[in-house]
């Protein structure tokens, strides 16, 4: 039974991801201190923060909304990590623990959102309806 957001495994993993990320951004060049590294820290903190805030809200609709925000922040973090690799700031090996955790968190968030969504509607591709 989940009594608190702290009981959620996805929140625990997101917290661990943020800790890993904080250690990683210390390796970025000094000129990125207030740019890319700041964005990465904000995105990493946003994931567990939005999971916690959503869990503490009064409705499933709000909870799902905050989980969706966490999902977006998680994708933003992945993008920042991949950019760091392309810019040569961090290696694939250095980024792998954060990226692996991020993929796992994304799956868990998708699963939780699906579980909370009443009568989920399948996504349709509007292009397939074109005549």
43 is in which domain, residue-wise?
Answer: 5-117
- Whether residue 92 lies inside any domain: the answer is yes
Given a cut of 70, whether residue 128 has pLDDT beyond it is no
pLDDT interval class at 53 (50, 70, 90): very high
- Please state which of the ranges 29-43, 75-89, 108-122 shows the lowest mean pLDDT: 108-122
In a domain, 103, yes or no: yes
pTM over 0.85: yes
* 126 within some domain: no
pLDDT digits (tens, 9 = 90+) for 63-80: 999 999 999 999 999 999
Task: Assign residue 31 the CATH number of its domain.
Answer: 1.20.1440.60
Q: What domain count does the chain have?
A: 1
Task: Please give, one letter per residue, the 3-state secondary structure of 56-107.
Answer: CCCCHHHHHHHHHHHHHHHHHHHHHHHHHHHCCCCCHHHHHHHHHHHHHHHH
In a domain, 130, yes or no: no
Please, what is the angle between helix 9-25 and helix 92-116, to 10°?
Answer: 150
Residue pLDDT, tens place only, 84-112: 999 999 999 999 999 999 999 999 999 99
Domain membership of residue 80 (yes or no) is: yes
Under 8 Å between Cβ of 78 and 46: no
In a domain, 128, yes or no: no
Please report whether residue 84 resides in a domain: yes
């Amino acid at each position: 039974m989940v009594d608190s957001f702290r009981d959620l495994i996805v929140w625990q993993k997101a917290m661990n991801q943020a800790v890993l990320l904080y250690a990683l951004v210390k390796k970025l060049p000094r000129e990125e201190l207030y740019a890319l590294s700041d964005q990465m820290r904000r995105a990493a903190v946003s994931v567990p923060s939005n999971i916690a805030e959503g869990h503490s809200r009064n409705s499933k609709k709000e909870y799902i909304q905050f989980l969706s925000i966490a999902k977006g922040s998680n994708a933003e973090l992945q993008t920042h990590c991949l950019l760091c690799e392309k810019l040569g700031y961090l290696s694939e090996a250095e980024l792998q623990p954060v990226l692996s955790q991020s993929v796992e968190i994304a799956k868990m968030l998708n699963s939780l959102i699906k579980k909370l969504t009443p009568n989920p509607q399948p996504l349709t591709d509007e292009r397939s309806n074109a005549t």
